Amino acid sequence: MRNYFQLQLRIVQRFLTEWRLAPWLVALVVPVLFVLGSLLLLERTAYAALAIMVLSWSGFAWLSGSQRNYFLRITYPGATYRKIRLWENTVIILPIVLLFVGKGLGAVVRPEASGVAWWYWGALALVQGLVGTAMAYRVVGGRASLKLPTPFSRQPFEFAVGFRRAWWLLVFAIFLLIMGVRAQNFELGAFAWFMTVFGALNFYQKPEPGFYVWVHALSGRQLLLRKLRIGNVHLLILGLPFVLTLLVAFPARWLLVVVGLVLASAYLTLFIVAKYAAYPNEIDLVNAFIIAFGFVVPPLMIFLIPYYFKRAALRLQLVLS
């Protein structure tokens, strides 16, 4: 087990070195950034705790991937496998539990602030950790015969595959949407909608193997336009329950919903063109920052999208010509 974690550490170090980041610096800065960033976020928005929980859950889901766990199961004895998975989940959930506990203790020191909610969040994080570990202990491949129908099956593959992998996010988002409508809270409903938008961006995160680009009888530009067209149509289908619900429940905020639609489409467009501008590599850290900046300052996307589009079309043309 020790060898396994040493190997993981070496892999992480190699990634950081590739990104030209000093591993020791990252080890110092990341915990500080996590604590400061989380505290700042928790102060500024009521939904920050929820967002942190969703992030940690996506971490569990990634660690519970069937191929990864199948490999671990056939490589290590059962007890070692379970220990590895327990430690991995602990690494994800422990900082979050400590964060909520810290907030709870802070409220005890300052009696004017109510800290009960933080203890609940801490307990919820623990439960999430336990559920995540239970997911890891399930029989790998046991659910392989279950096939989730998807409205995106006609035009594979990104949304069809992504939807099946992240269906739980959609369920969670719909739950939040219902909560938002019941509490007459537009912001919560909009937050739920954009959770699915960012979930959909994640469908495009990994560059596909070269064969899946090569196989198209199209030019680079044509393939990119096709990807954008299908992606945006699918994004609209995915967001339809949210858009319609928000329009019906909050008719006075229709303009915000329309702006949201444009923004969602722009986010996806930017993400797709940036992905293929880096193809066959993953988006590097510098470009990831530029994209994130574009997300925060949307008018920038007017310049970023054409810039990445040109580069992406050229990149794809290299594979297709």
Partner 1 sequence: MLQLHALSKHYGTNHVLRGLDAQFLPGRVYGIIGENGAGKTTLFRCIAGLLGFEGEITGPGSNFRHHLGFLQTNNYFFPKMTGREYLRLLCQARHAPAVKLDERNVFDLPLDDYAETYSTGMQKKLALLGVLLQQNEVLILDEPFNGVDIQSNILITAIIRALKTKGKTVLISSHIFSTLSATCDEIYLLREGAFVRRVLPADYAGLEQEMEDVTVGDRVDRLGL
* Beta carbon nearer to partner 1, 60 or 250: 60
Task: Give every CB contact of residue 39 below 8 A, 6+ residues apart in sequence.
Answer: 99, 103
Q: Min. distance of Cβ 74 from partner 1 in angstroms?
A: 16
* Beta carbon nearer to partner 1, 106 or 141: 141
* Beta carbon nearer to partner 1, 6 or 66: 66
Q: Min. distance of Cβ 17 from partner 1 in angstroms?
A: 22
What values do phi and psi take at 152, rounded to 5? Answer: -105, 10
Distance CA 179, CA 55 (A): 20
* Beta carbon nearer to partner 1, 157 or 175: 157
Q: Min. distance of Cβ 147 from partner 1 in angstroms?
A: 6
Q: Min. distance of Cβ 293 from partner 1 in angstroms?
A: 30
* Beta carbon nearer to partner 1, 61 or 261: 61
Q: Min. distance of Cβ 223 from partner 1 in angstroms?
A: 9
Task: Give every CB contact of residue 290 below 8 A, 6+ residues apart in sequence.
Answer: 304
**Residues in touch with partner 1 (CB under 8 A):** 65-67, 141, 144-145, 147-148, 153-157, 160-161, 164-165, 208-212, 214-218, 319-321
For CA atoms 137, 198, 237, 307, give the dihedral sign: negative
* Beta carbon nearer to partner 1, 39 or 218: 218
Distance CA 85, CA 265 (A): 37
For the record, the structure tokens of 257 come out as 């919903």
Q: Min. distance of Cβ 210 from partner 1 in angstroms?
A: 6
What values do phi and psi take at 212, rounded to 5? Answer: -75, -15
Distance CA 253, CA 193 (A): 15
For the record, the structure tokens of 73 come out as 């199961």
Q: Min. distance of Cβ 69 from partner 1 in angstroms?
A: 12
* Beta carbon nearer to partner 1, 77 or 156: 156
Could you tell me how many helices (H) and strands (E) the chain has, helices first? 14, 0
> Could you tell me the end-to-end alpha-carbon distance of the chain, in angstroms, rounded to an integer?
47
* Beta carbon nearer to partner 1, 31 or 156: 156
Distance CA 82, CA 151 (A): 36
CA angle, 134 as apex, 128 and 132 as ends, to 5°? 35
For the record, the structure tokens of 65 come out as 């991937």
Q: Min. distance of Cβ 145 from partner 1 in angstroms?
A: 7
Q: Are 38 and 113 in contact (CB under 8 A)?
A: no
